[in-house]
């Protein structure tokens, strides 16, 4: 079917980014090792997967609050940049400086990223982060916990956040990978959003077809996830939940940068209710719009092309992935 509309919720979306960053993106014609490369464009943005979700939610005209540890001059700049975009910030002061990342976006769409490790959080800072999430989640429709964990946080940290969120009656979306994802599954997050590589890593085997990804998503549900929103890159997205499974894809004319596209997709999914084919259509529309924008610019409603999205409950299980994951 053609996706022409989405169902929009009304509640605030809280994001949690344990390892935020200050991101500098440079547009370059091509990377040549050892050469001086002149950038044709540059941007500086607040970074981190949860931060990007908040930016996409705000660009859609919805209220969002971003919880994140911030330290040093880079942290202060991240807070200022978010405030300028109309995003409420609930900062957790930390002693270490917020990390700075660099992304090089080539004209053919290839992206090279250099990510710094970030500060190590003390036991006191870790507890303050959890307490801030609890305080800010009281009127949240969704809590989106996203990204890698900084030094100092145990792999079980996200599991603790999920448990506390459910105890407070909130729904939680989780976008992380590796052991942090596996640990959190036991607390039954409402939705997890792996990409193809993260999905393959979680089940411990390669993915060559959409059917392989579907089976892996079903396994994650068996491990505790209530729903799985799996991004398969240029091939589309899968949604697997109690009500069924759907596959969606979109026409994309020109890829400029995929920085934050997955985060924009998660934002689209949550602002459209966080379940069912209409939310999946919104996710794909937001992701497709994001890759056609420079750097980590988040799409506004004017950038979306819902008519370019198709959703079906007939998952093309035999379709080979454009980039198989081994």
Asked if residue 113 belongs to a domain, the reply is: yes
Q: Which residue has tokens 């602002």?
A: 271
Taking the C-alpha atoms of residue 269 and residue 115, their distance in angstroms, rounded to an integer, is 26
Asked if residue 154 belongs to a domain, the reply is: yes
pLDDT tens figures, 51-84: 999 999 999 999 999 999 999 999 999 999 999 9
105-114, 140-149, 256-265 — most confident range: 140-149
pLDDT tens figures, 79-119: 999 999 999 999 999 999 999 999 898 988 788 989 999 99
Of 263, 303, 305, 318, which one is the catalytic site residue? 263
Residue 4 clears pLDDT 50, i.e. is over it: no
Asked if residue 1 belongs to a domain, the reply is: no
- What is the extent of the structural domain holding 204? 12-31+39-325
Report DSSP state, residue 71.
Answer: -
Asked if residue 90 belongs to a domain, the reply is: yes
The domain total for the chain is 1
Mean pLDDT of 170-178: 96
Taking the C-alpha atoms of residue 234 and residue 321, their distance in angstroms, rounded to an integer, is 9
pLDDT tens figures, 239-257: 999 999 999 999 998 888 7
Asked if residue 47 belongs to a domain, the reply is: yes
CATH label of the domain that carries residue 157: 3.40.1190.20
Predicted TM-score (pTM) of this structure: 0.89
Asked if residue 7 belongs to a domain, the reply is: no
Asked if residue 3 belongs to a domain, the reply is: no
313 classed as catalytic: no
Burial level of 241, CB count in 10 A (0-12/13-18/19+)?
buried
Taking the C-alpha atoms of residue 174 and residue 177, their distance in angstroms, rounded to an integer, is 9
Listed in sequence order, the residues at least 6 apart from 244 whose beta carbon sits closer than 8 Å to its beta carbon are: 313
Asked if residue 20 belongs to a domain, the reply is: yes
Listed in sequence order, the residues at least 6 apart from 183 whose beta carbon sits closer than 8 Å to its beta carbon are: 155, 156, 158, 159
pLDDT tens figures, 193-228: 999 999 999 999 999 999 999 999 999 999 999 999
Average pLDDT of the chain, as a whole number: 93
């Amino acid at each position: 079917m053609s996706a022409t509309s989405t169902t929009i919720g009304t509640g605030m979306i809280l994001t949690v980014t344990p390892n935020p960053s200050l991101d500098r993106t440079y547009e370059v014609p091509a990377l040549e090792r050892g050469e001086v490369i002149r950038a044709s464009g540059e941007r500086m943005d607040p970074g981190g997967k949860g931060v990007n979700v908040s930016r996409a939610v705000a660009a859609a005209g919805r209220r969002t609050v971003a919880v994140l540890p911030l330290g040093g001059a880079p942290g202060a700049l991240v807070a200022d940049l978010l405030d300028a975009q109309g995003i409420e910030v609930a900062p957790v002061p930390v002693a270490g400086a917020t990390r700075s990342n660099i992304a090089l976006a080539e004209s053919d769409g290839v992206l090279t990223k250099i990510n710094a490790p970030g500060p190590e959080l003390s036991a006191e800072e870790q507890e303050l982060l959890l307490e801030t999430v609890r305080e800010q989640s009281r009127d949240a429709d969704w809590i989106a916990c996203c990204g890698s964990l900084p030094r100092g946080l145990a792999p079980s940290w996200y599991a603790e956040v999920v448990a506390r969120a459910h105890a407070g009656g909130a729904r939680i979306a989780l976008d992380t990978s590796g052991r942090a994802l596996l640990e959190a599954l036991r607390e039954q997050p409402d939705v997890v959003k792996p990409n193809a590589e993260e999905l393959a890593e979680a089940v411990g085997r390669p993915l060559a077809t959409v059917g392989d990804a579907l089976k892996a998503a079903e396994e994650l549900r068996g491990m505790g996830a209530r729903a799985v929103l799996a991004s398969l890159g240029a091939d589309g997205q899968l949604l697997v939940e109690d009500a069924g499974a759907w596959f969606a894809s979109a026409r994309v004319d020109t890829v400029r940068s995929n920085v934050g596209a997955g985060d924009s997709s998660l934002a689209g999914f949550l602002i459209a209710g966080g379940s069912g084919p209409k939310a999946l259509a919104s996710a794909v529309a937001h992701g497709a719009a994001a890759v056609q924008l420079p750097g980590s610019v988040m799409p506004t409603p004017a950038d979306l092309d819902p008519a370019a999205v198709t959703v079906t409950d007939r998952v093309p299980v035999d379709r080979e992935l454009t980039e198989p994951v081994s």
